[in-house]
Structure 1
């Protein structure tokens, strides 16, 4: 990990219902902005998908590993880390964050095995 989010940055991200992400192409330009759910565990930022893992924003993200995010009051370049196969404790923490933020009805799809395997950590790129 190159750096981490400040407490204030993480609070901005955690307060947002959704996050906008644009994945970088090989030439450095941004793909279109996509709206996704986002959670924080401490000052770490996580996103998941529950479908289309090889295509769409997620497929591009796992190939590029670079992007830009935006929430109200914050826009930042990020490095994208695939953490879907990390320890069970991380999965449990991210699952709990999704349930707490989005509720059990809406969030159920985001805490299943497929979604947990598709967990990405967004790390700020800093000079």
Structure 2
């Protein structure tokens, strides 16, 4: 991802990800990496398809690109807290019922890094 592409992805409210069809999901950036999560790991749906393929297409306003997807699951404590904080900061306006499920242990275990 170029610096310009990273800027567009990080600035987006959400991105759409596709392995088979477009699905809107929340995205946060920590350092030079965008991260996405499912609020629970599923064996079907966008998460399973993207995880199995190891790649996906993503789009945000002004950009559509192909990315590789890395399952980082068990996160180092510092990175996990940074990603959790990024979710709380970016999406906290939705309240605990919105952002809360995205910062649980189960959600953290579904963390994917997009490259």
1:122 maps to 2:114: yes
Say how many residue pairs are matched.
112
- Counterpart of 1:10 in structure 2 is 6
Structure 2 unpaired stretches of 5+: none
1:86 deviation in Å?
2.4
Higher helix content, 1 or 2: 2
Question: What root-mean-square deviation, in Å, do the aligned CA atoms of Structure 1 and Structure 2 show?
Answer: 1.3
Normalising by structure 1, we get a TM-score of 0.82
1:52 deviation in Å?
4.8
1:73 maps to 2:69: no
1:111 to 100, 103, 107: 103
- Counterpart of 1:26 in structure 2 is none
Deviations 1:29-87 (A, max 9, x none): xx111111100012201000013521100011111111110001111111100011121
Normalising by structure 2, we get a TM-score of 0.90
**Whole-angstrom CA distance in 2 between matches of 1:80 and 1:15:** 19
